[in-house]
Amino acid sequence: MPVKEKIGIVISNKMQKTIVVKVENRYSHPIYLKTIKKTKKYLAHDENNICSIGDQVLLQESRPLSKRKRWTIIKILSKSSLN
């Protein structure tokens, strides 16, 4: 079974070794055909606390690390220009 991967933007890094990532999904409404954006937040494991707010990251599904944390960071795709 293949491992799931998602691309998202870091919205919080206040916890130790954990970040909150916002993943945006776009789809077309079946009747009105308007493009709809749906966002979902995931808790991801950041072992070395290297991510900052606004970074674009690649997440990979992993074993449960805590009650809500089931994703780990594979790599940072682009650093934030806010800092």
Neighbours of 16 (CB within 10 A): 7
Cβ 70 vs Cβ 45: under 8 Å = no
Residue 83 placed within a domain: no
Residue 68 placed within a domain: yes
Residue 32 placed within a domain: yes
Q: What is the tens place of the pLDDT at every residue in 3-44? A: 999 999 999 999 999 999 999 999 999 999 999 999 999 999
State pTM to two decimals: 0.89
What is the CATH number for 22? 2.40.50.140
Side chain identity, residue 15: M
Q: How many domains does the chain have?
A: 1
Q: Where are the alpha helices (DSSP H) in the chain?
A: none
Q: In whole angstroms, what is the distance from residue 49 CA to residue 44 CA?
A: 11
How remote is the C-alpha of 42 from its chain's centroid? Answer: 6
